[in-house]
Structure 1
Amino acid sequence: MRELATEFEAERGRLLAVGHRMLGSRSEAEDAVQETWLRYAGALADPAARAEIRDLSAWLTTTCARICLDVLRSARVRREAYPGQWLPEPVVSPVDGRSSADGYAPDPAERAVRTDQVGTALLVVLERLAPEQRVALVLHDVFALPFARVAGVLGTTEAAARQLASRARRAVSAPDVPRHTADPAEQRRVLKAFVAATESGELDQLLQVLAPDVVFVGDSGGHFPAARRPVLGADAVGRLTLGLFGRTGRYADRVLARPVLVDGALGLQMETAHSDGRPIRLVTAFAVDRGRITAIYNQLNPEKLTDLPPLDADDGWPPRW
């Protein structure tokens, strides 16, 4: 059993990455990985059965993916009953690449499977897909599993698995999907300009940083007031941003902020207080393309931010870059 545990722990980072891409939920990903361990230990405690598995990583990935597929199919009902807009649980890590306090920061295995369209933007658009499409796209395009194995997970033919992935790619690249193609250096330049424009309080300056079709999505889980639909367009998003964080905004003088990586892309971790005195913690992710912000994802549901490290008193607004 000790040998089984050692082998499994070597694959845990990859399995967590699979689960998070599939489910958009850290807690659900961890549950899926734990269930994968139970099935692994149960099926492979027999040395003879273990010897029949030639590719342990593929076996574990396939098993985890099947568990995630079952969760995705049941999650549709829960998503429909969710209060307001839904965003995935963010994976937050320091910008210097060190592990976060809870150890869930992406490890080398996670970084190795990242695509150009990394970050919250990808996880949000994956929610558009049917469960089978999402599984096919993530397993093949992100984790490089051959379609023969993808078909085995889905219980279909290899040709059908290819078709599911193809349809998923078209949905992910649809014209109305916010693009996130900026490298880290460009992300930093754009976010610094965004913060400076917000701090200035000048809408015209902020509009220079926002794409004309930018979208703002906020997930409070019903705990705090938040728009029930996405806010669309640079003017509307700019006015909302200034109303929250501009010089005379709701939170202007009561914000702590720190640059962080959110699902691998540059974002902000913030703390402030609601008008009724309740503390608010936020993780804000951005999609950046061609020098402008195409989407802002504001996660303030406390149930999805339980393991964030605390901010320090010197993490003021505007944040230090």
Structure 2
Amino acid sequence: MSELDLLAERFETDRAHLRAVAQRMLGSADEADDAVQETWVRLSRSDTSEVGNLTGWLTTVVSRVCLDMLRSRAARREDPTDLPTTAYDGGPGPEQQALLSDAIGPALLLVLDTLGPSERLAFVLHDMFAVPFPEIAEIVGCTPAAARQLASRARRRVQGERVPDDDGTDRRRAVVSAFLIAARAGDFSALLTLLDPGVVLRADPEAVKIGATAVLTGAGEVAGRFNGGAQSARLAFLDGEPGLVWAVGGQVRVAFVFGFEGDRVSRIDQLADPSAIEAMTIDIRPNSEL
């Protein structure tokens, strides 16, 4: 038996576990199978001779695949035809419905679909599979404390509790949403009320290359920059904080990171450097949440 055959045999012992993880993450039997298949492809191309816990390694890989799929799904949320077929929308046949019901209840699935990709991953991995927060943090790209907070917020939403806004995130999100709405509508006066008088808009060198002004200072200048624009911008959480992104085909090309002074925007960083964007955890929200 070849080494690849031995590896395939070993993979089969974990297939059921990996499919369960993927199905709880994605809520779709078909997408779960795709995620497991991609995990096998990555395993077959990797040197795992130094891996002590192959099941743990495979769980990490399938989780990263699922996270990418969830983020891609969130970026396409505005087009219902792009959404995956799930048990509660009447799409799959009886066999798929039975498999999905075994994995996760329809009511819980509906609640999970309201969570951001990172929240969903943290909740599923920790609460359903007891994956430690340091490992979740490595997958999501955040600190263990942030991963714990993601799971906690998701858990409270699943339990039907209102998640308290202890750190003012909801207020900042409301400001960014109002900013995007005003920018799209060309409501200059509304933009001025949302901006601190001394607000600064800074663009990184990559953003300058595609036409952005390096620095703009003052509410009037910054409001004028966005007034009537941002038609393609989307509300997003950037490392857990509300901001805006411009994405093409699900790929974020520009991120707008907001800073605040009280309830007014005091700073906007326009980032187009791919390495800076790649380093961020980004959850794009649908326009229906504005």
Where relative contact order (Cα < 8 A, 6+ residues apart) is larger, the structure is 1
TM-score of the aligned structures, taking structure 1 as reference length: 0.44
